[in-house]
Amino acid sequence: MGTDIHHLDTVTFDDELDRIEIIDQTLLPGIVKTIYLQTAEEIYEAIARLQVRGAPAIGVTAGFALYLLMKKCGASDRNAFEKEMTKTADYLNSSRPTAVNLSWALNRMKKCADRTLNSSVTEWQSLREQVLDAMRRECFAIRDEDIDACRRMGEYGLSLISDGSGILTHCNAGRLATVRYGTATAPIYLAHEKGMHLHVYCDETRPLLQGARLTAFELSSAGIETTLACDNMASSLMKAGKIQAVFVGCDRVAANGDAANKIGTSGVAILARHYGIPFYVCAPLTTIDPATPTGADIVIEERDPSEVTELWYRERMAPDNTCFSVYNPAFDVTDHDLITAIVTPKGILRAPYTDSIADVMS
């Protein structure tokens, strides 16, 4: 436990004790606590309850998870192993539907295992060891690629920032959403390392307050000047000339550039267009989904009404009767024509996104 996260990776794996280690984000900012995941149920709950969250961090967790759970699997032959792997992957994939990194990482791990399972080795124990060794290398590669991708997005995004700028963020696309650096905050961290002066304004991001609990916490504790604002204060900040750029992350980018991100992001993009402020989406290639034609094809997760009515209150702060209901989608989709550019590890993409996304993904 402690009060600082900057010496910790958000997600890691302990080889000696066979467990996934994550920072429990439901306890932040008051408590920094590492928790340990060893069963499928614990991993599922950690993803569903947002103990680990952020598309890249979820993907890294999923990679570690399938390796760990198949290592514990007592399958007696190749067919039983394959059947159990599919069942386990399907179960984990059902924990959250919107972030493509979850299914991407699980599918990547399954393909890795399948390549080795299809080898000419016939003795099961030898083959099992080879499969698990390949899966271990693959899940750690996913982790290392995430760190590298965030660093490179930071370098590209840094070219879009001027010294003295005010930057608005929404939700948390910081190091807590990845292993290190973050996606939308990576340019901010690199600018800070270079001695540039920035002022970051964090939307609180109702109803789960990721901007308040996570982004404002991690940026301010890194020594970056940070101001917290309620979501409905963004227009006021923009009108006052305090915002020179908006940087957000995303959970899925469609083939046409539509981007699903935490609820409220599309409203920020509309405001930015009104005030002539550039709106940048930072997207690892793992978050871009060419198989999804447009944002209309993205499944939006609906979450528990209690997150809105009582989660952060001592008492329920809404009516409780049969004429009352709660609308609580986790994400919304920002239309591609509201996005100034998409920052990826392979460069900055601009419209028409159908072409630039196809080029970078090929």
**Cβ proximity of 40 and 69 under 8 Å:** yes
In the structure encoding, which two tokens stand for residue 137, read together?
Answer: 């290398």
DSSP letters for 262-285:
ETTHHHHHHHHHHHT--EEEE--G
User: Comparing C-alpha atoms, which of 265, 274, 256 is closest to residue 330?
Assistant: 265
**Cβ proximity of 301 and 98 under 8 Å:** yes
Distance CA 62, CA 107 (A): 10
In the structure encoding, which two tokens stand for residue 122, read together?
Answer: 């016939």
User: Which one of the listed residues 146, 203, 251, 332 is annotated catalytic?
Assistant: 251
Distance CA 288, CA 257 (A): 9
Is 251 assigned a catalytic role?
Answer: yes
CB-based contacts of 134, cutoff 8 Å, min separation 6 = 112, 113, 115, 116
User: Comparing C-alpha atoms, which of 329, 333, 358 is closest to residue 344?
Assistant: 358
**Cβ proximity of 137 and 167 under 8 Å:** no
**Which sign does the torsion angle of CA 294, 339, 307, 101 carry?**
positive
**Cβ proximity of 244 and 167 under 8 Å:** yes
* Residue 217, helix vs strand vs coil: helix
Q: What is the DSSP letter of 215?
A: I
Distance CA 262, CA 213 (A): 15
Q: How far is CA 199 from CA 22, 117, 177, 204, 341, in A?
A: 29, 52, 21, 16, 21
The DSSP bridge pattern shows strands 347-349 and 341-344 to be antiparallel
In the structure encoding, which two tokens stand for residue 273, read together?
Answer: 């267009």
* Residue 260, helix vs strand vs coil: strand
Cα-trace Rg, the chain: 21
Hey, which residues are catalytic here? 251
